Amino acid sequence: MNRKLKFLLLSAVLASMAFVSSCQKDEDPAPIAKPEINNLEIGYDNDKIGTIGGDLHLDAEIVAEGKIAVIEVELHDEAGMGDDIVALFTEFAGLKNTDFHEHVEIPEGTPAGEYHFHMMVIDQEGNTTEVEDEVMLEESNDTEAPVITISSAPSDGQHFDSGETITISGNVSDNDHLDGLLVALVYEDDNIADAEVTAAHSSVIVMLHTHDFDSETSHNFTASIDVGAAMDNNDPPAAIGGDNAWKDGEYYILVKSTDHDGNWGYSNHFHIDIHN
């Protein structure tokens, strides 16, 4: 075979390979699967009951191949007597799977009765998965708040330097059903009222945030964080920076807990001094 013919054949083969490669690249990628909402629990023990002035407990395993963008929960009054209740959860954005354990607050004054429940997971590819159900919102006569007992805490005004660990331990109990526990580190000069200290507050450093307890009525806890840590102990953990960036000065630890009926219990302030 002469050189000219070899050259022509080689050129044809290379052109054919380039064409095949180009076609493969031009093919549409495999479609991204829609999000999955698995093992959904609405209300405690899936009783599908929320408490007015309290909340509606939710738990589910979420899988999102296209990464979670937002999770939305809506409650519509079947009788048309009250406003819709809408809760958006953006803290799970970017995750491919998560244990969604959250509580939708039911405002005081919400009419009791049957509500239509929607839960939607929207991924970053624009895919949406929705589940629907019926729930009951009920009044509660329980006004007894959880009791917080501290067994170990920093001494008043104790000094902590960068890298040192701040720790507090204790027990929280309730006559009916524990719902949430938050241990927060609060900068004194921010002047945040105890009722406004939440896991979502941008100025608060979360030492512990949980809805999982040893039992329905009692839970032992220990919360710790290192001074200068890059991430807090929220669920899921969040970066420390901006409004809640570590500062030199006086802080205090606050422990607060709520029950199924929306009653809140608060600890005293445990004052410490931080030099980061």
State the pLDDT at residue 5: 42
Q: Is residue 26 in some structural domain?
A: no
State the pLDDT at residue 78: 78
What range does the domain containing 99 cover? 36-138
- 185 and 77 in a single domain? The answer is no
Using DSSP bridges, classify how beta strands 36-42 and 55-63 pair: parallel, antiparallel or unpaired: antiparallel
Residue 232, number of CB atoms within 10 A of its CB: 22
Tokens of 38: 């698995």
Q: Is residue 91 in some structural domain?
A: yes
- 133 and 215 in a single domain? The answer is no
Contact criterion met (CB below 8 Å) for 228 and 162: yes
State the pLDDT at residue 140: 84
Last residue of a domain, one of 105, 138, 171: 138
Q: Is residue 120 in some structural domain?
A: yes
Q: Is residue 127 in some structural domain?
A: yes
- 81 and 183 in a single domain? The answer is no
Longest dimension (CA), the chain: 98
- 169 and 125 in a single domain? The answer is no
- 269 and 156 in a single domain? The answer is yes
- 164 and 261 in a single domain? The answer is yes
- 79 and 198 in a single domain? The answer is no
- 133 and 151 in a single domain? The answer is no
Q: Is residue 16 in some structural domain?
A: no
pLDDT in single tens digits along all 276 residues of the chain: 444 443 444 354 335 444 444 554 455 677 899 999 999 999 988 999 999 988 999 999 999 999 999 999 999 987 777 789 999 999 899 999 999 989 899 998 999 999 999 999 999 999 999 999 999 999 988 889 999 999 999 999 999 999 999 999 999 999 988 989 999 999 999 999 999 999 989 999 999 999 889 999 999 999 999 999 999 999 889 999 999 999 999 999 999 999 988 899 999 999 999 998
**CATH number of domain containing 112:** 2.60.40.2550
State the pLDDT at residue 114: 94
Last residue of a domain, one of 138, 173, 191: 138
State the pLDDT at residue 267: 98
- 118 and 168 in a single domain? The answer is no
Q: For residue 244, which phi and psi values (nearest 5 degrees)?
A: -105, 20
- 177 and 82 in a single domain? The answer is no
**CATH number of domain containing 165:** 2.60.40.10
Whole-angstrom distance, CA of residue 83 vs CA of residue 77: 7
State the pLDDT at residue 7: 42
Tokens of 230: 């890059």
- 127 and 154 in a single domain? The answer is no
Last residue of a domain, one of 138, 164, 179: 138
What Å distances lie between residue 11 and 14, 19, 217, 250, CA to CA? Answer: 5, 12, 78, 76
DSSP state of 33: P
Q: Is residue 263 in some structural domain?
A: yes
Structurally, the chain folds into a number of domains equal to: 2
- 128 and 208 in a single domain? The answer is no
> pTM higher than 0.75 for the full model?
no
